Amino acid sequence: MTEITQLLSPDAIVVDERVSDWEEAVRVSGRLLEATGVTDPAYTQAMVDSVHENGPYIVVAPGFAFAHARPCEAVHRSGMSWVRLAEPVEFGHKSNDPVTLVVAMAATDSSSHQQAMASLARLIGDKSKKSALDEASSPDEVYALLDGGATAAPAAPAAAPAAEHVRSDGATGAAPGFDGERSASAGNGSTRDKILTVCGNGLGTSLFLKNTLEQVLAHWGWASLITVEATDTVSARGKAKEADLILTSGEIARTLGDVGVPLRVIENFTSTTEIDAVLRQMYDI
């Protein structure tokens, strides 16, 4: 079994589901969690409330929403549901609407499901595999595709030099932050070699973003040099001064406000190209 199918049963998959709006789509995904013994109805309501409170931050890639809430007593075990819609619905996201796929996650803690999250992020970012899932004719076919093996990482953007980079003035030098050099992200102080990815709950969309960011850092050869931490909005305010920058959605960025370090909005949480461009700007590469 793959990491995803360890948490997702065929009974928690529906295809060509018809809904009237985003809230009904999220509720359908929650009822599948309830029906398979993963959660109680209170968790479904918590997923809906999270969108009402934070906006459509769960729409992390074009056409894809990742519904979730914090671990709570309403979660009996970690699990997932998969809802492919017959007709797309608007969540209110300026660039990733309309949504055709809603995947819901319930977790008993903030760490045990991270490998499944990484696999799901790579899957959604893989156009050929995502297309096959969109065309699957039944829940069993979806499950078979998901259970077909580990999902390979999508092609990464061009690598940045691990030991040397070109600054905006044309000079060369050691990669920023690894010999005390100041970086754009740290303002007038030295780089802290840490990036925060932030969502409303700290265990859902922020992990999508963390996984894609770590792919880019690994391709650059910087994976061992920069720490990436996924966190929630409340914790992010306290941890901001420890980081070079924060990556998050537009909705969460507005919630956070000015936290004293650079904050950049990522539209597609599965896009290595978009994150690569932001990092090159922030680290002056």
Question: Could you read off the pLDDT of 146-194 as tens digits, one per residue?
Answer: 998 444 444 455 555 443 433 333 333 334 443 333 344 444 446 789 9
Contact between 230 and 202 (Cβ < 8 Å): yes
Contact between 122 and 113 (Cβ < 8 Å): no
Q: Which of 50-54, 71-75, 188-192, 267-271 has the lowest mean pLDDT?
A: 188-192
Domains observed in the chain: 3-146 (3.40.930.10), 164-282 (3.40.50.2300)
Contacts 24+ apart (CB under 8 A), 177-184: 177/225, 177/226, 177/244, 177/283, 178/225, 183/244, 183/282, 183/283, 183/284, 184/262, 184/281, 184/282, 184/283, 184/284
How far apart are alpha carbons 67 and 42 in whole angstroms? 14
Residue pLDDT, tens place only, 10-48: 999 999 999 999 999 999 999 999 999 999 999 999 999
Q: Which of 22-31, 103-112, 134-143 has the lowest mean pLDDT?
A: 103-112
Given a cut of 80, is residue 251 above it in pLDDT?
Answer: yes
Give the model's pLDDT for residue 260. 92
Band of the pLDDT at 113, cuts 50, 70, 90? confident
For the annotated catalytic residues, the residue numbers are: 68
**55 CB contacts (<8 Å, ≥6 apart)?**
92, 251, 254
